[in-house]
Amino acid sequence: MAEKSKKPIAGSIEELKLLRGEAKKELAKEYDMIVIGAGCAGYSAAIYAARFNLSVLVIGKLRGGLITTTHLVENYPPLGSVSGPDMMDMFYEHIRMFEIPVLEDEVTDVNGKGVCWKVATKRHGEFVGKTVVFATGTEHKKLGVPGEKELANKGVSYCATCDAAFFKNKVVIMVGGSDSAAKEALLLSEHCKKVYIVYRGEAIRPEPVNGLLVEQRVKEGKIEIINKTNVVKINGEKVVASVTFDKPYKGSNEFKTDGVFIEIGGIPQSGLAKKIGVAINEKGEITIDREARTNVEGIYAAGDVCDTRFKQAITGAAEGVFAAFSAYSYLGGKKIVCT
């Protein structure tokens, strides 16, 4: 006897796919929502948009976003302890369940007025979105000192997860005093002979749990902290050989090191949003309300690019959800024809 085909569970993704019919093989040119950015915030916005039965396209320069350069994420319930790349693989699998197209491409321009926003990309041409979510995140801030640019990828790095293994049993410095810098230093301490955290402030500012781990590594002699000190120059011909401090350390301004890791915050990628009139604060962050709306109708933002005080993967994901809900509410009942 032939087996009966299983009926999908009510309310499941499988039922939603069945109700929608077969997914289109080719990319459409017009969507209810275009999400710019493929990290936690962008993926969450897209998933919820799909559940609201909106057509959605995700475009991001780096699939998974900047969190893919994070060694461990331990504050995203209920995942426990997971690497940044593994976590974003889970997000991507969830995206695939909804058959949401994700383009690994750079958005070069956004223009429009009111509705029907044109989104131009470097390699895939132009798309039209009835709404747009900016989940563009940040890029690593540079020190801006002599030698930094010249020795990039020759001992200067902005990603311990990517490059720590190249410095096995070597001496490196980590510039920065944030929780992110502390976590990067902890990872480096697993590979390197010694890690020096160099911070311009009075004391580094890790989360309490990471602070305890740093203290333990200090006791073990794996980490040393140099506060109230700035790196003013990075020295070396073919590779990093030393750095110059703005004040003497143990009698000398020059400090020998095999590598310089820099974690001093990020620069919000808000330029395209600003171009279309979206309000930006003095830090370059997009201003949003409690439901991820900007001052421009039909334009939303989520994640690290926003003017929120506490920036975490989980808060960015939540903002993405609000962005999708706000777009859904905005589009509800409106007859918008773009092409």
Write down the pLDDT at residue 3: 46
Annotated domain spans of the chain: 28-140+266-331, 156-262
User: Do you know the residue count of the chain?
Assistant: 339
Per CATH, the number for 156-262 is 3.50.50.60
Write down the pLDDT at residue 333: 67
Write down the pLDDT at residue 143: 96
Which secondary structure element, helix H or strand E, spans residue 121, and what is its range? strand 115-121
* pLDDT tens-place string over residues 57-116: 999 998 888 888 888 888 889 998 998 899 999 999 999 999 999 999 999 999 997 779
Is 156-262 in the same CATH topology as 28-140+266-331?
yes
Q: Which residues of the chain have pLDDT under 70?
A: 1-25, 333, 339
Is residue 89 within 8 A of residue 80, CB to CB? The reply is no
Place of tokens 């009698």: 251
Residue 189, SS3 per DSSP: helix
Per CATH, the number for 28-140+266-331 is 3.50.50.60
Largest CA distance in the chain: 87
Write down the pLDDT at residue 63: 87
Write down the pLDDT at residue 88: 93
Write down the pLDDT at residue 24: 47
Beta bridge partners of 33: 56, 131
Write down the pLDDT at residue 119: 97
Q: Could you give the C-alpha distances from 97 to 14, 34, 51, 284, in angstroms and in order?
A: 8, 18, 11, 35
Write down the pLDDT at residue 336: 80
CB count in 10 Å sphere of residue 49: 31
